[in-house]
Amino acid sequence: SHHQSIHAPFPLFYLTSHTIHEFTMKLALVATLAASVSAFAPQANNARPSVAVQAENSRRDALSSIAAAGVAILPAAANAAAGESPRFSVFGLIGDGESYSEGAAYGTDQAAKLYSPYSVYGNRGGDALFVEGQSEEITRKKAYIAESQKRLSLLSGYVEKKQWFNVKDELTRYMYETRGAVRGLATTPEQKKIAKSFFQAIEDTSLQATLKNQDKCAAAVSSSIKLLDEFVAAY
């Protein structure tokens, strides 16, 4: 009937070519939008497991390499023989005196007396590598002071030009040896008194350079030069 033909499904052959073209264009547009959205979607979830696996593998490889290196450098003596008791020494008095404990045999394998019960080095004596007051040491300290006199002579020019960084650098670039040299050569009460005044003068020089006080810094430099010259004349 006419009523039934109205409510029946709309047959596809009734669609015009224009309608089919419009429907096709809409489908293409939807597909394009879907592809664009998926392209901009974050991929962290897919990459994260791969990065985590790679990191874990790298860490395992590094630990394996370290362990293999540690085993390779272990001395053969560290491997105890089957049935052998542990070897140890307590200050060389108790236990196996031939074993090393804490890196020292505590005098059991040295012919000469040790510097201390805890030392692996011999007692200080005439054959020691360093003996305080040797001619080589005195010569070296005098050379430090001679060079320090040259460095101090440069400070007045730096102060005049207000080059405060050069004043401070000169007091630390080389002259960190000066204090030790002066103290090491100061043996008499007079020398020690001059040394104390000299230390105060160079400290005041550094302070006034930091404060950028030209007049006081110049005075401190002059005092430092004079006192060091007096110290040299005293020995």
Lowest mean pLDDT among 36-40, 111-115, 223-227: 36-40
Neighbours of 231 (CB within 10 A): 22
CA distance 20 to 15: 7
Neighbours of 56 (CB within 10 A): 10
Percent with pLDDT over 70 in the chain: 44
Identify how many contiguous H helices and E strands the chain contains and give both numbers: 9, 2
Rounded to 10°, the helix 214-234/189-211 angle is 160
Residues forming beta bridges with residue 114, ordered by sequence position? 122
The pLDDT tens digits of the residues spanning 74-109 come to 444 445 566 666 666 665 566 665 555 444 555 455
- Cα torsion 133, 134, 140, 144 to 10°: value is 10
What average pLDDT does range 149-164 have in this prediction?
A: 96
Handedness of CA 136, 142, 148, 149 (dihedral sign): negative
Q: In the prediction, which pLDDT does 196 show?
A: 96
CA distance 235 to 233: 6
Both tokens assigned to 179 = 């204090």
Rounded to two decimals, what is the model's pTM? 0.49
Burial 77-96 (b: 16+ CB within 10 A, else e): eeeeeeeeeeeebeebeeee
